[in-house]
Structure 1
Amino acid sequence: MKNPSLKRNAIANYFGQAYVMLIGIIVTPLYLQHLGVEAYGLVGFFALLQTWMNLLDIGLTPTLGRQIAHARGKTKGFDEFRKLLKSFEIIFFGLALIAISGVYFASTWLANDWINAELLSTDVIAYCIKLMGVMIGLRWFSGLYRSGINGLEDQVWLNIANILLMTLKFVGALILLIFISNDIQHFFEYQLVIGSIELVVVMMRFYTKLPISKVPIHVISFHWDSVKSVAPFALGVAYTAGIWIFVSQVDKLILSGVLTLAEFGYFSLVVIIASAINAITGPISNAIQPRMTYLLSGGSEVDMLVLYRNATQLVTWVSMSVSIMVAFFAEPLIYAWTGNKEAASWSKEILFWFALGNGILAIIAFQYYLQIAHGKLKLHILGATLSAIVEVPIIVYAALNYGALGAGITWFILRVVWGLVWTPIVHHYFAPGLHWKWLFNDILIIVLAVTLIALLMQYLYPETNNFSRPVIFLVLMIMGTIVMAVSSLSSSFIRGNVKNKIKRKRTKAMS
């Protein structure tokens, strides 16, 4: 099977991610305006609930993506893969029923005893939560097939489909709110319809692109031997993913019960912006993970490590440029985005710490990609266990006693400590002799350059109290572009690519 272009996939991932982010930036403040802060808080609660319900995934989605990438590097690899796929579909169907039933029966309790609403009735909230449960089941199946498409490196199509589907989700819902109804119940009903369409589209594409197996397999069948062979890997992923949900989402879960629904709406804005930092770098990791696995399965470890280091530099440059600029200019950014001064004032300090913490998270995630590529998660399981034992009690204490700001500061400190302590241990086992070159040459030099340039931009930032929101946003975009452009020179990978392009242009001109 011919390998798709890694460059094309990365570019497609970035274009698709940029579109989703852009449409989210445009539509979110309009949602806030037409739904109201409290109803928007319910949208934020849906995102939180969906994250926690991913605990039931038990590692199947990432396992399927890895196994299809592995099958591409093996002769007759898809004969066994199809057995695994059919087995996973049966398991997912059962898990979806559990999720939908669980959310349905918990909806009344959540509406009455957990969510602190002042304007929305408990009946409305309970109904919306029931719709959330059905959507979670549909999105699980969509995620399974999306993972398969990603493993096939059919990422150009996936991004085109994602753009169309996100347009229906965001723009279609906005049209609904403006011209038909701004009832939060109708909003979730519409999202349920689009979620159903999404599942059908990605499932059809996945089966269309899946190579034909010479071994006949029934449409509905379960193959225990196939599941058993990947069970240690899947359960390892599930265990560590579950722990990660506890570590990364326990503060948000607590805050959803401590804050009023309106305040949680403001906090949801912080979560969206902070999460966007990881979403920006996601296209790189989505492109390199299946390729790293493929290279290792073919015995090209040296090429895999070159890809690993180059991708680290790119992610460090992008994630730290964005996270530091967001942290330094949190208040004007939120005001320029939403037009809500109360939201900007409430969120500025909280966003500062969450933004920096997520910027660091995007970098230290690379040690996990390395372990996924090797298909060995024993060390990751140990690290995740230690992380949960140490971090969860600290995060719970900070959220309960110091609120959202305490949770943000704690998140930042823990990410720094974990990156400095655990990553060298992983590198010692999977890439001996790499760590210090990776840390200093691929990360710290870039971080230092970004920080110094961003500090200069902060010093030069003009007084914008009398500026319109579009002008404030434009000023921030210009300053962010300067930070990224200048700091890019600190990356040896980027410098090398620029030099090669200049050299090729000169050679072409001379010929």
Structure 2
Amino acid sequence: MSQLKRNIIANYTSQIYVTIVGIALLPLYIKYMGSEAYGLVGFFAMLQAWFAVLDLGLTPTIGRETARYQGGATSALTYRQLYRALTVIFVVVAIVGGGALFLSSTLIATKWLNLETLPVEDVVVAVQIMAISVALRWMTGLYRGVVTGSEKLVWLSCFNATIATIRFVGVFATMWCYGFTPLVFFIHQFIVAIIEIVVLAQKTHRLLPRKNSLNEVIGWSFKPVKPILKFSLTIAFTASVWVFVTQTDKLVLSGILSLKDYGYFTLAVLVANGIMIISGPISSAIMPRMARLNAENKHEELIKVYRKSTQLVTIIAGSAAIALVATAKPLLIAWTGDTQLAAQAAPILQLYAAGNLFLSVAAFVYYLQYAKGILRYHLIGNIGLVVILIPSIIFAATVYGGVGAGYVWLSMNVLFLFIWVAYVHSKLEPKLHLKWLWNDVLKIILPSAALVTLISLIEIELEGRVENILFVIFVSTLILSSSMLFSEQVRSKLKLQLKINV
């Protein structure tokens, strides 16, 4: 088995586990902590996403430069000098960003969040703990970039699964001993963040070139950053735009909705984000590989990886998204046992799941630009997207709440895929787009969508959690089977297997 396949399998195994653990336990959080306290947990997740604005493009940059070093395009000395310079920047930004959030804790608790029963003093302390935890977790981006760029993704996947177990499962043991309160929850997350950063730092230092193998002293200088500054700042800007695009609705609604209703909204969006989570392992595996192939001038192999990966994401993420759209309410009833919660969250879940499907496919054009080191189209596209999306989401979320934000999210991602991605492909890889869109995306998605449409025409009355979960499993299996059947890559492998058996 090739290293790329092992990395993808390891990533998927880990990511599926992390996703299942994180999502499956949400009803327990709401049950034992209360929906308002869970809204605070959702606010914590949003803060982590917004903190990425301070990344300055450093995480993907160190990942790409690590892959280039592994491919022989960068010397060991230059790479170590770059790593040291980026370490300084990471530490400074973590202190400044975390400190600003820490000092704003009282303002956030009293002026922004709509509290109902939680004590203000406890929320202030919780936000302060959030600030330190977010800064620590953001610092791990430097180390994850090195590990990912080195393609040590099997180790990273195992580590992520372990940390997720401690973070999501272990917290119940802590709260069982000390109380099911937000303070206990966030103190536990703080301790996990410390463990995470220490282990990742140790792993990173074992992957770096040995100092005694270098011909010169590494020194302290920011000169190594200059050659990649344009690339890094471009990523930084687009990453910031990405945060604005994906998190503005959550920020706006956190100040509009009560923490209880915000908890319901967060639950629906978190489940829908599973679409992006399960496509993440492929991007983590192929981005350093594509960057390395581009550095080695292996163009045909690069496009082959690009197209095969697109089909894989379309099969897995596409099937999951379509299944969520078709079975949103039965899934939520089976999962939580709360029909009122299901009725409120299902429409939001459907809209965000569909939007995330188009987003996960459209993201591939960024992977291509990343590999080639040409990000101006990504920059322009994201500027255009944010100019249209941000005011639209603010208006829709303010007037129509979570459902309004969901409709905007879906519409913008559909337009981005069919208009902007086509344009970028025409500039970077002429004649690729139509083959890519039809053979690697639409031929897989459309039959499943048609199947779901037929199922939706049948009125089915379901009672009880068991009946609902069986319905969800049945529909999901049909959708996945349909997607695999219409994938050229899967059909080719099945034909080859049949020939071997014969």
TM range (shorter): over 0.9
Establish whether residue 154 from structure 1 lines up as the match of residue 118 from structure 2: no
Q: 2:277 is matched with which residue? A: 279
Please, which of 182, 186, 189 is the counterpart of residue 187 of structure 2? 189
| 1:236-251 paired onto structure 2 within 5 Å | 236-251=234-249
**Residue identity in the other structure for 1:215:** L
**Residue identity in the other structure for 1:47:** A
**Residue identity in the other structure for 2:450:** L
Task: Output the CA distance in 1 between the equivalents of 2:69 and 2:429.
Answer: 24
Query: Can you list the C-alpha shifts for 1:386-408, whole angstroms capped at 9, x where unaligned?
Result: 11222211111111121111100
| 1:477-488 paired onto structure 2 within 5 Å | 477-488=473-484
Equivalent residues of 1:80, 1:226 under 8 A apart = yes
Task: Output the CA distance in 1 between the equivalents of 2:396 and 2:298.
Answer: 45
Equivalent residues of 1:240, 1:381 under 8 A apart = yes
Q: 1:215 is matched with which residue? A: 214
When normalised by structure 2's length, the TM-score is: 0.96
Q: 1:509 is matched with which residue? A: none
Query: Can you list the C-alpha shifts for 1:346-395, whole angstroms capped at 9, x where unaligned?
Result: 11111111110001100000010000000111121111111122221111
Displacement after TM superposition at 1:4 (Å): 6.5
Query: Can you list the C-alpha shifts for 1:293-351, whole angstroms capped at 9, x where unaligned?
Result: 11111010111011111111111122221111111211111121122222111111111
Name which of structure 1's ranges 344-353 and 253-262 shifts more when overlaid on structure 2. Answer: 344-353
Task: Output the CA distance in 2 between the equivalents of 1:505 and 1:131.
Answer: 59
Q: 1:270 is matched with which residue? A: 268
Equivalent residues of 2:58, 2:232 under 8 A apart = yes
Equivalent residues of 1:25, 1:337 under 8 A apart = no
Equivalent residues of 2:105, 2:125 under 8 A apart = yes
Displacement after TM superposition at 1:471 (Å): 4.3
Displacement after TM superposition at 1:461 (Å): 7.4
**Residue identity in the other structure for 1:194:** V
Equivalent residues of 1:83, 1:217 under 8 A apart = no
Task: Output the CA distance in 2 between the equivalents of 1:139 and 1:408.
Answer: 28
Task: Output the CA distance in 1 between the equivalents of 2:17 and 2:410.
Answer: 28
SS in 2 for 1:241: helix
SS in 2 for 1:329: helix
Equivalent residues of 1:30, 1:174 under 8 A apart = no
Task: Output the CA distance in 2 between the equivalents of 1:131 and 1:101.
Answer: 11
Please, which of 288, 308, 311 is the counterpart of residue 310 of structure 1? 308
Equivalent residues of 2:76, 2:214 under 8 A apart = no
Please, which of 104, 108, 111 is the counterpart of residue 110 of structure 1? 108
Task: Output the CA distance in 2 between the equivalents of 1:398 and 1:315.
Answer: 30
Equivalent residues of 1:289, 1:369 under 8 A apart = yes
**Residue identity in the other structure for 1:489:** L
Establish whether residue 490 from structure 1 lines up as the match of residue 486 from structure 2: yes
Equivalent residues of 2:389, 2:408 under 8 A apart = no
Query: Can you list the C-alpha shifts for 1:67-117, whole angstroms capped at 9, x where unaligned?
Result: 101111116633211111111111011011111211111110110010001
Task: Output the CA distance in 1 between the equivalents of 2:457 and 2:208.
Answer: 54
Establish whether residue 341 from structure 1 lines up as the match of residue 317 from structure 2: no
Establish whether residue 472 from structure 1 lines up as the match of residue 468 from structure 2: yes
Q: 1:377 is matched with which residue? A: 375
Q: 1:359 is matched with which residue? A: 357
| 1:52-71 paired onto structure 2 within 5 Å | 52-71=50-69
**Residue identity in the other structure for 2:202:** M
Displacement after TM superposition at 1:459 (Å): 4.7
Structure 1 vs Structure 2: percent identity of aligned residues? 37
Q: 1:398 is matched with which residue? A: 396
Equivalent residues of 2:73, 2:295 under 8 A apart = no
Please, which of 274, 292, 295 is the counterpart of residue 294 of structure 1? 292
Task: Output the CA distance in 1 between the equivalents of 2:461 and 2:210.
Answer: 63
Task: Output the CA distance in 1 between the equivalents of 2:205 and 2:501.
Answer: 43
Displacement after TM superposition at 1:179 (Å): 4.0
Task: Output the CA distance in 2 between the equivalents of 1:265 and 1:443.
Answer: 34
Distance change in 2, residues 1:181/1:200 (3 Å) = same
Equivalent residues of 1:114, 1:257 under 8 A apart = yes
Task: Output the CA distance in 1 between the equivalents of 2:459 and 2:57.
Answer: 46
Name which of structure 1's ranges 469-478 and 101-110 shifts more when overlaid on structure 2. Answer: 469-478
Query: Can you list the C-alpha shifts for 1:410-437, whole angstroms capped at 9, x where unaligned?
Result: 1101111111110111111211110111
Equivalent residues of 1:334, 1:344 under 8 A apart = yes
Task: Output the CA distance in 2 between the equivalents of 1:369 and 1:183.
Answer: 41
Q: 2:11 is matched with which residue? A: 13
Task: Output the CA distance in 1 between the equivalents of 2:260 and 2:181.
Answer: 16
Q: 2:414 is matched with which residue? A: 416
Establish whether residue 332 from structure 1 lines up as the match of residue 318 from structure 2: no
Q: 1:101 is matched with which residue? A: 99
Task: Output the CA distance in 1 between the equivalents of 2:215 and 2:105.
Answer: 43
**Residue identity in the other structure for 2:214:** V
SS in 1 for 2:317: helix
When normalised by structure 1's length, the TM-score is: 0.95
Task: Output the CA distance in 2 between the equivalents of 1:277 and 1:21.
Answer: 10
**Residue identity in the other structure for 1:503:** K
Unmatched segments (≥5 aa) in structure 1: 507-511
Q: Number of aligned residue pairs: give it.
A: 501
Equivalent residues of 2:53, 2:236 under 8 A apart = yes
Task: Output the CA distance in 1 between the equivalents of 2:45 and 2:173.
Answer: 21
Establish whether residue 41 from structure 1 lines up as the match of residue 39 from structure 2: yes
Displacement after TM superposition at 1:460 (Å): 5.7
Name which of structure 1's ranges 299-308 and 177-186 shifts more when overlaid on structure 2. Answer: 177-186
Superposition CA RMSD, Å: 1.7
Task: Output the CA distance in 1 between the equivalents of 2:270 and 2:207.
Answer: 33
Distance change in 2, residues 1:142/1:470 (3 Å) = farther
Establish whether residue 261 from structure 1 lines up as the match of residue 259 from structure 2: yes
SS in 2 for 1:153: coil
Task: Output the CA distance in 2 between the equivalents of 1:53 and 1:225.
Answer: 26
